[in-house]
């Protein structure tokens, strides 16, 4: 059994059977696993995917999409999130990440929407975030990592025990999860045009629904 097939979908997507296999979730997972061996970074990709795909579902609802159109949109969000850091383990410097990965995605023919969003999630890339996907990926990246950290310090190590008020309190504690950019968290919610509390609650709910798959 391949490594990709051993991880269950945190979004449980039925879209995979309806969308062309070239850019499906299994393809994204296979690429992620080929480039990323560390379990922590793989789980981060899954956590970000969970939040981004949930936003993709709400966007599909807003656009009144159905059938294959809906599946394609959600799969675009899902795969973009899975691949946003796939080159980071091998190329962690700002000079290389995410540029090396994006060049590989271009070589493989992945959609421009995916590549642009991945470039845009790195503030230093200079690539503007203009689409909903661009903004969602940026907004969910740091927050998903922070919510994971909030869960892991709970006695139960469970995301189900994390609450919005506690997350906001820990955001003010600069000694906690120092690697998470608070500015990016705040800016991400602002760019999406949603209140921080609402954004945190939305991502928490998405992650709680898939707690088992995320190991939380």
User: Is residue 209 a part of any domain in this protein?
Assistant: yes
- Whether pLDDT at 93 is above 80: yes
Say which range, 12-16, 45-49, 135-139, has the weakest mean pLDDT. 12-16
- Domain around 47: 16-214
Q: How many CA atoms lie within 13 A of 187 on its CB side?
A: 15
User: Is residue 1 a part of any domain in this protein?
Assistant: no
Measured CA to CA, the distance from residue 48 to residue 136 in angstroms comes to 10
- Whether pLDDT at 19 is above 50: no
User: Is residue 5 a part of any domain in this protein?
Assistant: no
Give percent above pLDDT 70 in the chain. 90
Average pLDDT value for residue range 9-27: 52
pLDDT of residue 23: 87
User: Is residue 6 a part of any domain in this protein?
Assistant: no
Residue 164: phi and psi, rounded to 5, are -55, -45
User: Is residue 8 a part of any domain in this protein?
Assistant: no
| Cβ pair 120, 134 in contact under 8 A | yes
User: Is residue 4 a part of any domain in this protein?
Assistant: no
Measured CA to CA, the distance from residue 143 to residue 178 in angstroms comes to 13
Residue 9: phi and psi, rounded to 5, are -70, 130
pTM of the prediction?
A: 0.88
- Whether pLDDT at 1 is above 80: no
User: Is residue 126 a part of any domain in this protein?
Assistant: yes
Give pLDDT tens digits for 100-129: 999 999 999 999 999 999 999 999 999 999
How many degrees, rounded to 5, is the angle at CA 72 between CA 68 and CA 76? 175
Number of domains in the chain: 1
- Whether pLDDT at 18 is above 80: no
């Amino acid at each position: 059994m391949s490594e990709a097939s051993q991880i269950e979908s945190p979004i449980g997507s039925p879209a995979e059977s309806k969308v062309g296999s070239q850019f499906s979730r299994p393809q994204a997972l296979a690429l992620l696993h080929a480039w990323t061996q560390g379990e922590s970074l793989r789980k981060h990709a899954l956590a970000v995917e969970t939040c981004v795909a949930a936003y993709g579902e709400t966007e599909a609802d807003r656009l009144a999409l159905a059938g294959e159109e809906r599946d394609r949109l959600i799969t675009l969000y899902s795969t973009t999130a899975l691949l946003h850091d796939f080159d980071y383990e091998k190329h962690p410097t700002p000079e290389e990440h995410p540029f090396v990965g994006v060049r590989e995605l271009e070589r493989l023919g992945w959609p421009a929407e995916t590549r642009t969003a991945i470039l845009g999630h790195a503030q230093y890339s200079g690539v503007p975030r203009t689409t909903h996907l661009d903004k969602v990926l940026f907004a969910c990246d740091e927050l998903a990592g922070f919510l994971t950290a909030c869960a892991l310090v709970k006695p139960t190590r469970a995301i189900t025990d994390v609450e919005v008020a506690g997350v906001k309190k820990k955001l003010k504690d600069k000694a906690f999860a120092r690697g998470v950019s608070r500015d990016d968290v705040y800016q991400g919610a602002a760019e999406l045009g949603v209140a921080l509390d609402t954004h945190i609650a939305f991502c928490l709910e998405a992650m709680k629904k898939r707690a088992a798959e995320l190991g939380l």
